[in-house]
Amino acid sequence: MNRISDATITRLSRYYRSLVHLETQGQEMVSSKELAKRHKVTPAQVRKDLSCFGQFGTRGLGYSVCQLKETIAHILGLHRIWKVALVGAGSLGSALISYKEFKRQGFHIVAVFDNDPHKVGKKRRGLTISDITKLPKIVKELDINLAVVAVPTTAAQSVVDILVKAGLKMILNFAPETLKTPPGVTIRNVNMAIELEALSYRLVASEMSRLDGKPKLSSI
Amino acid sequence: MNRISDATITRLSRYYRSLVHLETQGQEMVSSKELAKRHKVTPAQVRKDLSCFGQFGTRGLGYSVCQLKETIAHILGLHRIWKVALVGAGSLGSALISYKEFKRQGFHIVAVFDNDPHKVGKKRRGLTISDITKLPKIVKELDINLAVVAVPTTAAQSVVDILVKAGLKMILNFAPETLKTPPGVTIRNVNMAIELEALSYRLVASEMSRLDGKPKLSSI
DNA sequence: ATCTGGTTGTGAAAGAGTTCACAAGCCCGA
DNA sequence: TCGGGCTTGTGAACTCTTTCACAACCAGAT
């Protein structure tokens, strides 16, 4: 139980959303069975995930929806506001600024950066785009906790270097490349193209197996 | 070796990007060691991943950059054009339309759908937004293979139902909710908020352990 | 008080995924 | 032709994650 896996944390996030939903429905208790069904996992998985952090249920009854929701919010740090710096004011960056789910969960984008002189000074939904060189100063001033990188692949590594130098420890990266970070800095990657490629692989594989009954191709 | 794991496929996608890069640099051979270093995995991992599909290397020398690149492209289905339907013409959807990486890897968004009468008929980068009710017909006509769902959470499930009914088997979902699909339909989720929550959890956990030396919180 | 049906929490078993370790193989120079 | 240096491919060991299985427990009916 030493280190909790990313998989567990991700599932907690999902459970949390179900709990919010169930609460609005007025449901008071929920069992691991019900929660499991909503998320395509086993009830044991749900219980194990929760047991990493303590005992929150009542045998015979299940979990209190409201209480479990609050507990998970605390675990995930959703009860507080996180200040987020966004780097990259292209179309993806702009979409992230107006992405409601971020704000709903307490992630407030409070600064936007770009290196394009045409964009610097312009506004995006009320936020003025700053030059990337101002980042260290602004991160300090606003006490920013997290960074989101939405720049082209070629620029991603140098942006991350800047973020690390500015003292940021948590980075969400949208560029489809593995980036170098010193120990102590956590980077998570969101890879939209790579996700599509995983689907495309399955599509190819299923066509293969449909054609010749063999799910595996050894030589191409 | 029966079923290849998602993790392996995802790594192949990453290796592929390195290979493309190395090829432009004029490098002819690459070892599992070098590839591993670029992706923060072990050399054994790289070799195992590749060995799922055959033997592509030369002992003592490594892998031919160009040949391995082509091989992975075939495995992932990147040597062909996939037609993609995008549902949701909000800011995220619009960003996806202009996301270069999709087109670069052979994923062409050929149709855009929305249910908002104000948007239907309008254009996004040359693509006319169609009403969601036209989806089944257009999917057939254009022979679309994949769907990307970029609609608000509340609409996601009904959109997926429509996609499934239209015969699509592969769906990439951006809504932060676990969606129901019948067997035979594969859905992959990209969860930007959930990724941030994982970072936020680590931030909370690291603060905890810094304060009292205990990485675990049992009661809140 | 006792029984019944239902649910949690958790050690143990099973299953996946990763790393190790080494034989087998290639290239090059002597 | 042989030896040294290097790298692949892969069974076996290991580690991490998930599932199983069951004691412990709760509520409400009898």
List, for residues A86-141, the tens digit of each pLDDT value.
999 999 999 999 999 999 999 999 999 999 999 999 999 999 999 999 999 999 99
- The CA–CA distances, whole Å, from A53 to A203, B117, B182, B184, B219 equal 39, 47, 33, 36, 8
User: pLDDT digit string (tens) for A154-170?
Assistant: 999 999 999 999 999 99
- Mean per-residue pLDDT pooled into runs of 10, chain B (220 residues): 89 98 97 97 98 97 98 97 98 96 97 98 96 98 98 97 98 96 96 97 84 42
DSSP A28-71: -EE-HHHHHHHHTS-HHHHHHHHHTT---EETTTEEEHHHHHHH
Compare CB distances from A200 to B82, B171, B215 and report the shortest one's residue. Answer: B82
Helix, coil or strand: residue B119: coil
Asked if strand D comes closer than 7 Å to B15 Cβ, the answer is no
For A165, the enclosing helix (H) or strand (E) is helix A153-165
Q: What's the pLDDT at B212? A: 55
Q: What's the pLDDT at B207? A: 78
List B57's β-bridge partners, or say none.
B63
Burial class (CB in 10 A: 0-12, 13-18, 19+), B174: buried
Give CA–CA dist B23/B19, Å, rounded. Answer: 6
The pair phi, psi for residue A167, each rounded to 5°, is 95, 5
Q: Å between A48 CA and D16 C1'?
A: 14
pLDDT at A212 over 90: no
Please give the structure tokens belonging to residue B18.
Answer: 């390195």
Q: Å between A196 CA and C11 C1'?
A: 40
Give chain A positions within 8 Å (CB) of B179: none
Domains and CATH numbers, chain A: 6-76 (1.10.10.10), 82-189 (3.40.50.720)
Give chain B positions within 8 Å (CB) of A176: 13, 17, 101
Q: Which nucleotide does the CA of B60 lie closest to, via C1'?
A: D7
Alpha helices in chain B (DSSP H): 6-24, 32-39, 43-51, 65-76, 91-97, 100-104, 135-142, 153-165, 192-212
Q: What is the end-to-end Cα distance of chain A in Å, rounded? A: 44
Asked if A201's CB is within 8 angstroms of B153's CB, the reply is no
User: pLDDT digit string (tens) for A19-40?
Assistant: 999 999 999 999 999 999 999 9
Q: What's the pLDDT at A207? A: 78
Rg (CA), chain A: 21
Name the pLDDT band for A214 (thresholds 50, 70, 90).
very low
pLDDT at A180 over 80: yes
Provide the chain A residues 117-136 that lie in CB contact (below 8 A) with chain B.
none
B102 in contact with A at a CB cutoff of 8 Å? Answer: yes
How far A199 CA sits from the closest chain B CA (Å)?
A: 6
User: pLDDT digit string (tens) for A141-150?
Assistant: 999 999 999 9
A14 in contact with B at a CB cutoff of 8 Å? Answer: yes
- Comparing C-alpha atoms, which of A81, A90, A95, A84 is closest to residue A163? A84
Q: Which nucleotide does the CA of A42 lie closest to, via C1'?
A: D19
Instruction: Return the nearest residue to C24, CA–C1'.
Output: B59
Q: What's the pLDDT at B11? A: 98
Q: What's the pLDDT at A208? A: 73
Asked if B40's CB is within 8 angstroms of A200's CB, the reply is no
Compare CB distances from B170 to A82, A146, A203 and report the shortest one's residue. Answer: A203
Q: What's the pLDDT at A216? A: 39
A53: amino acid identity, one letter: F
3-state percent breakdown (helix, strand, coil) of chain A, nearest 5: 50, 20, 35
Find how far residue B200's CA is from the centre of its chain. Answer: 23
User: pLDDT digit string (tens) for A184-211?
Assistant: 999 999 999 999 999 999 999 887 776 6
